[in-house]
Amino acid sequence: MRHRRGSLAKDIRSALFKVCNIPEIKANAGIKIANWKKDNRIMKAYSSLWNTDDTGLSVINEIIIKAMPKESKNNCLTPSIISFALAVCSIVLNPHSNEIRCTEDAIKKRSSIFLMLLKENKIPKESDIPDDSNEKEKSSLDSTDESSEDNDDSRLFE
């Protein structure tokens, strides 16, 4: 399951750059990340994550469909996948953070909030993102013990 989430996160990042038409950046780019996040194109892309239409979060839905081309819309636009994709994209583009690494903790924190809102038929907003300015997230997406996964994570690909 962990490998599948890591693979999906990578596909979502790749689709994010293409759908939003923004330059790619490596997670280990150091000081370049802060400058990259100040770019107007990145700020516009971040703002666009929260755009909605009658189908929900329009840009996120487009990113998911591009990241999961073999899946039907009904199979890939589930609340758990939408919340996961929104978590990944909001971490990568968030102009209030110099971090773009999608750690397990960061994704779980955001995804669980977004999933709860989606299950209540509410559209997540930027203001729903927890403030991590005083918190350093340590565990990476690829180094988490699978035995610590909770039930919501096991339903990620329902």
Q: What is the pTM of this model?
A: 0.80
Q: Spell out a b/e string for 76-108, using b for 16 or more CB atoms within 10 Å of the CB, else e.
A: bbbbbbbbbbbbbbbbbbbeebebbebbbbbbb
Write the pLDDT tens digit of every residue in 2-27. Answer: 567 788 999 999 999 999 999 999 88
Domain ranges for the chain, please list them. 2-23+31-129+137-154
pLDDT at 50 over 60: yes
